[in-house]
A and B are shown apart, each in its own frame.
Chain A
Amino acid sequence: GAVVSQHPSWVICKSGTSVKIECRSLDFQATTMFWYRQFPKQSLMLMATSNEGSKATYEQGVEKDKFLINHASLTLSTLTVTSAHPEDSSFYICSASGTTIYGYTFGSGTRLTVV
């Protein structure tokens, strides 16, 4: 079945630095990838939608200059949190879809802690 690998599973970074999170589709071509943010004991909030080779579409209230999304290939999308601050600490999850509508597979998530 469809497998999405997300790396790293957890990361600790210093305030002011940038951190990159990778989302890879291992056995299918992901034409669309979604990035979510999840606060403790809360639901998933969609941050942005990215289509391979196109600029990402960000949800209202999400800073595109802070959360840089790249989807340069059909198997890889990256989320870079730039100039991270403690309030950016959260659980970030990606999901990927191929040609099947709503064939979403989720990654295992990345726990980001900014100190």
Chain B
Amino acid sequence: AQSVTQPDIHITVSEGASLELRCNYSYGATPYLFWYVQSPGQGLQLLLKYFSGDTLVQGIKGFEAEFKRSQSSFNLRKPSVHWSDAAEYFCAVGNSGGSNYKLTFGKGTLLTVNP
């Protein structure tokens, strides 16, 4: 069964600092990987996704993520954080085979941005 681990429950960074949110997955084949952001009381917005090809994926809002098969990781990065980036971030893995396109989400990382 597929699973996702986000080791950091809460991260605090200063505005303008760099950011890296960790995500490790468990899946038998090459996974489909996603990062979503959720503001309080809101739905989820897709930041980026990886299906295949270049392992460095660019997303919206200046985010990027790198797929590292050897480490089963898909960490999210941003070179300079803005106060508006404060939110909950979820990593998710999807089934790349068959017709089951369910997503399994990690528990999320809450990002706080200090001025």
Contact = CB atoms under 8 A, between A and B. Distances in A.
Interface stretch (B22-30, B72-80, B100-108): B100-108
Contacts of A44: 44, 90, 105
A106 B32 contact: no
Interface string A42-59: 111010010000000000
B103 A46 contact: yes
User: DSSP class of A's interface residues: helix, strand, loop or mixed?
Assistant: strand
Nearest to A44: B105
A52 B32 CA distance: 24
A34 interface: yes
B16 to A, nearest CB: 27
B42 A34 contact: no
Interface residues of B, number: 22
Interface string A97-110: 10001101111110
Interface of B: 32, 34, 36, 41-46, 49, 51, 90, 94, 101-108, 110
18 contacts: A32-B101, A34-B102, A34-B103, A43-B106, A43-B107, A44-B105, A46-B103, A46-B104, A49-B102, A93-B44, A102-B49, A102-B51, A104-B103, A106-B36, A106-B45, A108-B43, A109-B42, A109-B43
